[in-house]
Amino acid sequence: MSALDGRTALVTGGSRGIGAATALRLAQDGADVALTYVTGEEAALAVVRKIEATGRRGLALRADSADPAEAAGAVDRTVAGLGKLDILVNNVGVGLLGPLDGFTADEVSRTLDVNVRGVFLASQAAASRLGRGGRIVTVGSCMTQRVPGPGGTLYATSKSALIGLTKALARELGERGITANIVHPGPTDTDMNPAHGPHSPAQSAMTALGRYGSADEVAAMVAFLAGDEAGYVTGAEFAVDGGHAA
């Protein structure tokens, strides 16, 4: 029997990168998995095919987390399509970096809408669906622990808000046997931040291990927190950052 047999999960932003790796890892551990995307339909369907190749059910949902109705609605659509919800992984996010005085009001609103409001609304909707043993795992950022240089004000602000949300969810939902935790990835090899890209030497040097992490390494931590072995873990932060914050 696999660790997540009989469970159903929703991974927001699951068409690529950490989200795609997480969706596939949860399926490999036995869960049926829904994932959301905005523009990457083909990539999302490719992940679904990989999920189905494990023998589990997969579901791709177009949902923009900046839209309040769609952020919450993805939870209901998961239940409608897969029958229930046991695990929510709040992975979706946007990462705008730049000088403090360079951000437009629209950029600020979009970042906070996706990274904060969308996560809150998805968690709120999931809380009404999750039963005892339910899991909420949110993907934060190493920049909530250490901002190594200028340019990260907006992104760090948005991701730091998720720490407070996670701890409050743990208190709010603990009596129902539902846990909430947050994972902080460090520099991670994805198409948005490739390990051999122009910024990789500097980012690798900021870690104690001197390298980028893989999306699979982050997904492994998410999968652990989604399983029964993490049943006494809640309201906690986990750095998967190669020692970025050390």
Question: Three-state SS for 3?
Answer: coil
CA dist., res. 197 & res. 227, Å (int): 34
Number of Cβ within 10 Å of residue 160's Cβ equals: 17
Which one is catalytic: 37, 155, 212, 232?
155
CB 96 within 8 A of CB 146: no
Q: Which residue bears the tokens 């669906």?
A: 129
* Count of residues in the chain: 246
Helix and strand numbers, DSSP H then E, in the chain: 8, 9
Q: How many CB atoms lie within 10 A of CB 151?
A: 15
The label of the residue with tokens 């809408």 reads 113
- Distance from the Cα of residue 213 to its chain's centroid: 16
Given a contact cutoff of 8 angstroms between Cβ atoms, the answer to whether 191 and 145 are in contact is no
d(CA 59, CA 192): 24
Is 37 an active-site residue? no
Q: Do the beta carbons of residue 75 and residue 129 sit within 8 Å?
A: yes
Q: Nearest to residue 204, comparing CAs of 216, 215, 194, 218?
A: 194
Q: How many CB atoms within 10 Å of residue 4?
A: 25
> Among all residues, which ones are annotated catalytic?
155
